[in-house]
């Protein structure tokens, strides 16, 4: 079982300001917008950057997304920011509030359970199909990604592990050779990403998760779809203990943010 790491201190209870979250000219911002960029291109860039920060945990559930501050940070007008936030609301990453600032979407405990259940089944189904449909080249690419985890596991580097982890899971989604399934799995992975940090803070969590990855890869390459399905469902599913820890940590973070 695995709950992936977030960048930063997603549940430390410390909320950074928007200006420190997204700095003009930094990797999180765009610097100066190109004059040749149309509104659609600018809004898409803003959308991707905000989504990245939500997924990484830099922007946290319940945090306000002030249009003016975002526009200043990205060096664009408020129009592409507003359009980006509407698109993120359609993807359930942002909660749109008329006449108020949008906020990073929060998930209730009951909905979180439901979403993790669906995520586990989607990943398991991807693994089952990948075991039947992946090509030799896709096998090699998956193995190559898995080897890149080794230095992060040794260094206990949760942040870099988190970034690479998505690449491995997306390789499995792609290996299903079912574009609709791949899109649904990727979207739900992103939606749950801010909530998937906790297990990897436990002793040996990175090593155990990497070992689970190896078993999943072995099952896929062996063409054992039933085993790949079972391993992926176990890999993603929330245990009762872990769910309780997750809810407690989120409640603590929300209390801290309200002070």
DSSP per-residue letters across 144-200: HHHHTTHHHHHHT-HHHHHHHHHHHHHHHHHHTT-HHHHHHHHHHHHHHGGG--SGG
pTM value is 0.70
Instruction: Answer whether CATH 1.10.1370.10 is correct for domain 18-104.
Output: no
CA distances from 222 to 124, 152, 225 (A): 16, 27, 9
CA distance 37 to 55: 26
pLDDT at 36: 46
The residue that leads in pLDDT, 35 or 182, is 182
In this prediction, what percent of the chain has a pLDDT beyond 70?
A: 76
Report the alpha-carbon distance of residue 138 to residue 144 in Å, rounded: 10
More confident residue, 198 or 107: 107
- Of 142 and 240, the structure prediction assigns the larger pLDDT to 142
Does the pLDDT of residue 254 top 80, yes or no? no
Residue 243 CB coordination number (10 Å): 17
Which CATH number describes the domain made up of 109-257? 1.20.120.530
Query: CA-based diameter of the chain, in Å?
Result: 55
Residue that is written with structure tokens 């992060």 in the block: 152
pLDDT tens, position by position, 8-54: 333 333 334 454 455 444 444 444 444 445 556 778 788 888 887 88
Token pair listed for 21: 């979250």
Q: Where are the domains of the chain?
A: 18-104, 109-257
């Amino acid at each position: 079982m695995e709950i992936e790491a977030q960048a930063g201190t997603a549940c430390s209870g410390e909320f950074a300001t928007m200006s420190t979250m997204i700095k003009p000219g930094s990797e999180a911002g765009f610097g100066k917008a190109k004059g040749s960029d149309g509104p659609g291109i600018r809004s898409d860039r803003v959308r991707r950057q905000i989504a990245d920060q939500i997924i990484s945990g830099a922007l946290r559930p319940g945090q306000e997304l002030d249009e003016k501050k975002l526009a200043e940070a990205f060096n664009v007008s408020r129009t592409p920011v507003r359009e980006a936030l509407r698109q993120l609301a359609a993807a359930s990453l942002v909660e749109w509030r008329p006449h108020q600032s949008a906020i990073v979407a929060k998930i209730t405990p009951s909905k979180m359970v439901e979403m993790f259940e669906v995520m586990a089944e989607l990943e398991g189904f991807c693994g089952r199909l990948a075991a039947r449909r992946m090509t030799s080249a896709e096998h090699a690419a998956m193995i190559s990604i898995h080897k890149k985890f080794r230095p992060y596991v040794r260094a206990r580097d949760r942040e870099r592990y988190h970034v690479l982890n998505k690449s491995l899971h997306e390789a499995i989604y792609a290996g299903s050779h079912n574009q609709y399934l791949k899109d649904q799995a990727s979207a739900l992975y992103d939606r749950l990403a801010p909530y998937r940090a906790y297990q990897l803070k436990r002793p040996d969590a990175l090593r155990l998760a990497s070992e689970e990855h190896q078993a999943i890869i072995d099952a896929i390459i062996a063409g054992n779809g039933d085993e790949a399905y079972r391993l992926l469902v176990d890999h993603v599913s929330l245990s009762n203990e872990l769910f309780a820890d997750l809810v407690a940590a989120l409640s603590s973070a929300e209390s801290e943010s309200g002070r």
